[in-house]
Amino acid sequence: MTGADRISVRTTKLIWPVAAWPDEEQAAWGRARQGRGLEGLDNPAAGWRDRTARKNEDGYGRYLAWLHRNGMFSENETACERITPDRTAEYARYLKSHFSSVSVATTVTALTSAARALAPEEDWSWLSRRSTRLKGRAKPSRVKRHIIQHTLDLFSFGKDLMDGPEKGRSGKLAAAQRFQAGLIIALLAARPLRIRNFQAITIGQSLRWDGTGYWLTFSADETKTGGAIDEPVPANLIPYLEAFLRLWRPTILRQADKYDGVKTHGRLWVDIFGRPMQEFTLRELIKRYTRKRFGKALWPHLFRDCLLTSVAIDQPDLMRISGTLLGHTNLHTGEKHYNQARMVDASRRFSEMVSELRDSFDPEPQPAAAGRNGPAQRPRALKCKGRRPFSSRE
């Protein structure tokens, strides 16, 4: 990066890329990532996955950009001189005024990791304690328990979309898009992969046929937790998947002819232009369809909560398989972040108790006057049988 380019980037970017960092820190970062700096391979950066490295690069790049905007950046400072208790306290206040508490904690944690990589010989325990406190106080900005749906309801909704009319108002293309949306929702409900993997499903690679069924396969290097994924596509979805591959996906792919796209790619999910569907488009598609069906939009990661909550309510004895279901490295992650069952069940019981209490105070109905069709009858209460669906009103 030339001097002029670096000035332009530093002036305009909210997060500085590594190329915009001071030269000495660029070199130190490269050595740390390769295990050739201080502490060698013991430097934590040497074992980071690329995605983790990018997150921590952004954590330090955002801090550098903030220092620059506030007149506190000096080219010749070291990381130890640049990252101080007073500055990070002020930085945290700035973050709190712009981001959710979860995002603030994540950003400061990334800065902590970057500091340890750049200067592993320094004592960063004070910064680690600060990020730990922020994580402990962080509260999700979205309340999940009012939005969660039973996994079977999501799965059935997806199948209903695929079982609908073959042609929508706009013809076969609209029907193909509807079918794809149904398959996305049903498959995500049954196999709630993280969105990065789900979006990247590729025919013949991560989606493969073994002679008896289809499998979703990702290597350890392709997953967030470093654990390989090898899960079968549910048998009752295979006819839908094959119909999509044979009929509906080619219909959407032909849109590439209109928009100068490439219709020979192997990605399973296809956007309106015939190109591989991007993460943002996939998220918005899922939110749009679920909002229309359930009244509130479900984002892709919430499907993971829905699965574990459904297991906790319907089959609590199987809670210990949560790590397998969601690809977690330990049970506590699933219990802490995903299990909404207690809140949902408690809310339901409270609603039922209030209803029963209200009924106990209802006076006996007075006989109604007879009409032309004989004595008036008191309406019979309707009782639902079987599992009750989750409700945001409970």
- Could you tell me if 291 and 166 lie in one domain? yes
The answer to whether residue 351 sits within a structural domain is no
Partners of 198 in the β-ladder: none
Q: How much is the pLDDT for 357? A: 47
Has this prediction a pTM greater than 0.85?
no
- Could you tell me if 169 and 112 lie in one domain? no
Say yes or no to pLDDT of 167 above 60. no
> Is there a contact between 61 and 53 (Cβ–Cβ < 8 Å)?
no
* Half-sphere exposure in the Cβ direction for 142 (13 Å, CA): 12
- Reported as a single tens digit per residue, the pLDDT across 27-83 is 999 999 988 876 777 888 988 988 899 999 999 999 999 999 999 999 999 999 999
The answer to whether residue 391 sits within a structural domain is no
Distance CA 132, CA 53 (A): 20
Domain count, the chain: 2
Residue type, 298: L
Look at residues 325, 341, 357 and tell me which one is the last residue of a structural domain. 341
- Could you tell me if 192 and 279 lie in one domain? yes
- Could you tell me if 285 and 220 lie in one domain? yes
Residues 269-286: what's their mean pLDDT?
Answer: 94
Look at residues 85, 113, 137 and tell me which one is the last residue of a structural domain. 137
- Could you tell me if 31 and 107 lie in one domain? yes
Distance CA 243, CA 236 (A): 12
The answer to whether residue 238 sits within a structural domain is yes
Residue ranges making up the domain that contains 309: 151-341
The answer to whether residue 392 sits within a structural domain is no
The answer to whether residue 388 sits within a structural domain is no
- Could you tell me if 123 and 179 lie in one domain? no
Look at residues 104, 137, 170 and tell me which one is the last residue of a structural domain. 137
The answer to whether residue 168 sits within a structural domain is yes
The answer to whether residue 370 sits within a structural domain is no
- Could you tell me if 185 and 334 lie in one domain? yes
Q: Give the CATH number of the domain where residue 199 resides.
A: 1.10.443.10
- Could you tell me if 64 and 180 lie in one domain? no
- Could you tell me if 63 and 176 lie in one domain? no
- Could you tell me if 58 and 109 lie in one domain? yes
Residue 236: how many other CB atoms lie within 10 Å: 11
Q: Residue 237 — pLDDT band, cuts 50, 70, 90?
A: very high
- Could you tell me if 18 and 119 lie in one domain? yes
- Could you tell me if 329 and 188 lie in one domain? yes
The answer to whether residue 27 sits within a structural domain is yes
- Reported as a single tens digit per residue, the pLDDT across 333-383 is 555 544 555 555 544 554 454 455 445 455 454 444 444 444 444 434 333
Distance CA 110, CA 35 (A): 19
